[in-house]
Amino acid sequence: MPNHEIYMRRCLELAQLGLGTVSPNPMVGALVVHNNKIIGEGWHRKYGAAHAEPNAIADVFNRYPNAADLLRASTVYVSLEPCSHQGKTPPCADLLIKHQVKKVVIACRDPFEQVNGRGIRKLQEAGIEVIEGVCQEEAAFVNRRFFTRVQKQRPYVLLKWAQTANGYFAPTDHTQRWITGPLAQRLSHQWRSQEDAILVGANTALIDNPQLTVRHWQGKNPKRIVIDKTLSLPQHLHLFDQTVDTIVFNAEKSEWQENLKYIALENFDLYLPQQLLYQLHLMDIQSLVVEGGVKTLRLFIDAGLWDEARVFEGDVYWEDGIEAPRLPMPPETKQQVGKDLWTTYFNQDAFSTFKRFV
């Protein structure tokens, strides 16, 4: 009797290799197993490129001269329901049917309307045995960004900030003072490379003049987003250097200048975080890091429009300062990063949507 969970967890490991490169698609991993031996592996590597299932099958053909015969007697494991529609690539369900695989084991269904249940039904109608629900919750969590975009029509929102050991976020005199060490900074840049966009408010842009890039890590730069209602920010700031796609949400104008896009919002002060997230959803931005400052972070916290928070706590103490935001739930995990403490929170209200799905 095969241990489906062992194979599916390998699929989930493979799926996460696509973090930061496949959005707005989901991360998917796949295995081909013959007589309890893995004979092929694949994952979705890049948006617009081949999905996990064809990569796993290609791996079998690259390794075995009798691949066609092996596939007919094999079980395919895949972390998300095989697609059943023509997109940028052909339907994966059709490929599995073409090779007459014996069985397909799926972690969870794809919530996307054009797939949800249809890929499974297509396989079953072709006579392929389908088992679903193996490591279901783990698979949905891996694809929490994709599930949020599809089910809530907004990006997955990740809050991130640093605070002192006694809970201060920034000096009251608006000067710059580092709270965390170099390891935390490198990890922050790694996180940036994994998400689609990063957002700051006008005060942070003016005081810190951030680049919002991944210069301390290898990977793609996220789209930069700044909230600047009256377009008061000076053009010499790093945000306007045209090196990275940058979006300025404002109340004055809509205009496109090479890599710089201005988007005017009507009724700017009314439901601002909702308007921002809706506009980003229309641009296929699947995940968003909100890096501050306190006013901007609280904007999303007060609206309940956040999914995950990653908070660094340094080992420094300040006599006074601007207090860091507080979240109304206990932390999920805590981890030491050099001299700093990294704490993760999850908004359970936000997560309830895809938990009901699985």
Q: Is the pLDDT of residue 178 over 90?
A: no
pTM confidence score: 0.93
Chain-centroid distance, C-alpha 33 = 29
Chain-centroid distance, C-alpha 129 = 32
Q: Is the pLDDT of residue 353 over 60?
A: no
Annotated catalytic, 53? Answer: yes
Contact 233, 207 (CB under 8 A): no
- Give the pLDDT confidence of 109-131 residue by residue, as tens digits: 988 776 778 889 999 999 999 99
CA separation, residue 277 to residues 41, 63, 155, 265 (Å): 36, 45, 6, 12
- Give the pLDDT confidence of 165-177 residue by residue, as tens digits: 999 999 988 788 8
Contact 145, 82 (CB under 8 A): no
The C-alpha angle 111, 115, 121, rounded to 5 degrees, equals 115
Kindly state the percentage of the chain with pLDDT values over 90: 85
Write down the catalytic residue from 41, 53, 195, 291. 53
Which backbone phi and psi does 269 adopt, to 5 degrees?
Answer: -85, 0
Confidence of residue 357 (pLDDT cuts 50, 70, 90): very low
Per-residue pLDDT, 332: 93
- Give the pLDDT confidence of 221-277 residue by residue, as tens digits: 999 999 999 999 999 999 999 999 999 999 999 999 999 999 999 999 999 999 999
Residue 196 structure tokens: 């689609």
Q: Taking phi first (over 0 means left), then psi (-120 to 50 degrees means alpha), and beta for anything else, what does residue 60 get?
A: alpha
Q: How many Cα atoms sit within 13 Å of 101 on the Cβ side?
A: 28
